[in-house]
Amino acid sequence: MNEIELFLRFSFLGLSTVISIISLISFLKTKEIKIAFASIGFLLFTVEGIIVSIGVFSPDVEHFITTEVLVGTTFISLIFFYLSILKR
């Protein structure tokens, strides 16, 4: 793994963590369900970043981190983002 890829992975983790914290604070203030869906989507991106970061430093967990797990978390987070913009 080169330095640029490592930088981008940790930048992704940091940005998704900050956005998920901001959206959670916004949800706690407004109690709007659409913001809750967006918060869950950002939290799933944070979880994905944590999983990838653990995989960078610990090769033992590499057999748990499969493409299916990463694509699955991205897919589920996109579903939550879709639910957050869906109009009734």
Cα–Cα distance list, 24 to 29, 62, 71 (Å): 9, 30, 24
pLDDT of residue 48: 87
pLDDT of residue 27: 93
How would residue 43 be classed by pLDDT, with cut points 50, 70 and 90?
very high
Query: Taking 70 as the threshold, does the pLDDT of residue 45 lie above it?
Result: yes
d(CA 84, CA 23): 12
Query: pTM to 2 decimals?
Result: 0.82
Q: Which residue has the tokens 């939290």?
A: 43
Cα–Cα distance list, 78 to 17, 33, 38 (Å): 16, 16, 9
